[in-house]
Every structure is written in C-alpha cells, then in structure tokens.
Amino acid sequence: MNTPNPQLDAQGHLKHFLTIEGLSRELLTEILDRAEGFLGVAQQAVKKVPLCRGKVVANLFFENSTRTRTTFELAAKRLSADVLNLNISTSATAKGETLLDTLHNLEAMHVDMFVVRHATSGAAHFIAAHADPHVSIINAGDGRHSHPTQGMLDMFTIRRHKPDFANLRVAIVGDILHSRVARSQIHALTTLGVAEIRVIAPRTLLPNQVEEAFGVRAFHDLSEGVRDVDVVIMLRIQRERMNSALLPSEHEYFHLFGLTEKRLSGARPDAIVMHPGPINRGVEMDSQVADGPRSVILEQVTNGIAVRMAVMSMCIGTQNLNSQGRDEFLNG
C-alpha cells in the first residue's frame, strides 16, 4: 500500500512544497514550465499578475537570509498576494512562545501560506503536519535536510541552457555533507533523468557511502571531477568549517578545490558555472570564473523569483484552473 505524499492534496495537486524527494518528474516539469510563463512578468510595466489576489503569505525566517527571503517576498507580491514578514528576533517566539503557538496565532489572522526557513531539519514538515487544512507550507530551507525551491531554480537555470537533461553530466563541488542545497539538487537531477551526477569534495565533507546512498560518483580531485561535465555547481563553504577537523585553511581549500579558469578548462567548452550564493571569492572560486562568460549565477537569482512564483501559485493560486485556462491566464 502506497503512503500518500503529504505534499499533495487528494487530487494530486501541490499543497505544500517541503522537499523534492518523492515528487514525480511530471510535477517537477510542471513547476519548470509554469516558471517559464512568469519570467516575462518582470518586463511588464506593472510587474504583477492577479493569481493570488486576496491571499496572505507570511514569511517565517528563523535563520538569516537575503536572497531567499527577498525573492519569496517579490514572488508573492508579483502574484498580488499580501505579504507579512515576521521579525523573529522581536516576535513572541523570542519571548518563549512555542513554534506551534506562533503558527496558530497567525492562522487566526487568516494567513494562507507560510514560507518557513529554520535551522532544524524537519521544521517545515512539522509545521505542515500541524497547520490548518487550508494553509500551505513552503520550505525555504531546513537544517541540513532540504531547500527545494533553490533546487528547482537551479534546474530551471540548467534547462534554459541545456534543455536535454538525459545527456547531461553535472558536478556539484563543496560541502556535500552539510548542504541542504546539494541534497535538493541531487534529488531533482535524479528525478529529471540526468545522465551522471558527480560530487567533488574532501573526504571529510562527503556523507558516508555517498555513491550508494545518492546514486552519484564521488571525486576528491577537482580537475578530474569536472572533466567533460556540462554543468559545474559550486557550493558555499561555511567559514565555521575552516580551521577545524573538517577542513584546512581557506587558502588550502582554494588551492585544492577552488574553481579557476585552468581547472574549468577541463569541462566541456559550453559548460555553465552555478552557485547558490553568497559566494566566498577566493575560497570556492576566483572572480575570473564568478564574473566570467560561463557564469550564470546572477541568472539564478532572477530565475528564483519566477520559480517561487510558480510554486506559490500551484499551492494556493490556481489549483481550480484547468491547464488550458491556466495557460490563457498566465499568457494574458
């Protein structure tokens, strides 16, 4: 007996977006296709569509964030939703109120969606399990577990440059062990049928038995790992990992695993370079690569708004529209 996916409603529509794991290729493709329709909104004189008019979205960020929080706020406003940004440092939660009490108090204000970022793995799932039936939860990053909208905006960026996932080799470089972004990317790439996924890192920053657990190829040499790949995704190295048992100094890490033009020359000539941000220049990559012609890092930021609009609209905005009506609505 198959257990129902808690992210889907009874009709199989997206109700919550907590993790990419367990979602179908068809649903991921629907997110990407819908995001294509939202890219042009930023070029309009009035940068809004009315798909979520009358809905209320609350951003609950228990961790610091700039790109993710800002792009979620812009996405909600471009869908014409009302947005509530909760200042956690001055909220009742900081005064001892439980997470569930905060949730239920905001639900009493008729909030329709919570965008949650939390340092604890599973926090978004916990909130979704206790939320009112009409409320949708989007995971904006939880501990080491998942960052599904980052994973999907990365897939969207890849698809705009490399439409045929089936023939792609993708390398993910950096702190695989602690990265929720890497986990979401691997789940998405696997579901979308990428030919080969490589992870490149020091042994101390790879999960045990990573090849068997994630279906990837592991490399400990950057030049060897990026040879002939189509996409190179660099991960942020958290500075607290430096000068510890996990990593040597920043200088030593860059010497071994920093992406330079010389190392990138082993990838395919049309390979693209990605990074979820923020970049530690001179640690994960040098500026020549970050600002170079193969970098699509700023595109990722732009694409993040469209992808988050797609996910939010699928959860609360247009579930009652059939596909033809939805496409006509999106395309004006």
In this predicted model, what pLDDT tens digit does every residue of 277-313 receive, in sequence order?
999 999 999 999 999 999 999 999 999 999 999 999 9
What's the rounded Cα separation, in Å, for the pair 118 and 124? 8
Check: CB of residue 100 under 8 Å from CB of residue 106: no
Going by the annotation, the residues of the binding site for L-aspartate are 95, 180, 236
**Can you say whether the dihedral through the CA atoms of 314, 316, 320, 326 is positive or negative?**
negative
Going by the annotation, the residues of the binding site are 67-68, 95, 117, 147, 150, 180, 236, 277-278
CATH architecture for residues 148-300: 3-Layer(aba) Sandwich (3.40)
Predicted confidence band at 318 (pLDDT cuts at 50, 70, 90)? very low
What local confidence, expressed as pLDDT, does residue 185 receive? 98
Q: Is the pLDDT of residue 209 over 70?
A: yes
What local confidence, expressed as pLDDT, does residue 235 receive? 96
Fold match between domain 25-145+303-330 and domain 148-300: yes
- CA 191 vs. chain centroid, Å, equals 15
This prediction's pTM: 0.91
Angle of helix 148-161 versus helix 25-38 axis, rounded to 10: 70
Going by the annotation, the residues of the binding site for carbamoyl phosphate are 67-68, 117, 147, 150, 277-278
Q: Is the pLDDT of residue 320 over 50?
A: no
What's the rounded Cα separation, in Å, for the pair 226 and 231? 9
Strands 231-234 and 169-173: parallel
What's the rounded Cα separation, in Å, for the pair 221 and 233? 15
Q: Is the pLDDT of residue 187 over 50?
A: yes
The 3-state secondary structure of 9-26, one letter per residue: CCCCCECCECCCCCCCHH
Nearest to 165 by CA among 198, 145, 188: 188
Residue in this structure with the two tokens 């040879």, named with its chain if needed: 227
Q: Is 61 helix (H, G, I), strand (E, B) or coil?
A: strand
Mean residue pLDDT across the chain: 90
Q: Where are the domains of the chain?
A: 25-145+303-330, 148-300
What's the rounded Cα separation, in Å, for the pair 330 and 184? 27
Residue in this structure with the two tokens 């897939």, named with its chain if needed: 155
Predicted confidence band at 119 (pLDDT cuts at 50, 70, 90)? confident
Topology at the third CATH level for domain 25-145+303-330: Rossmann fold (3.40.50)
What local confidence, expressed as pLDDT, does residue 27 receive? 97
Residue 48 structure tokens: 């809004």
SS3 content of the chain, % helix, strand, coil (to 5): 45, 15, 40
Q: Is 290 helix (H, G, I), strand (E, B) or coil?
A: helix
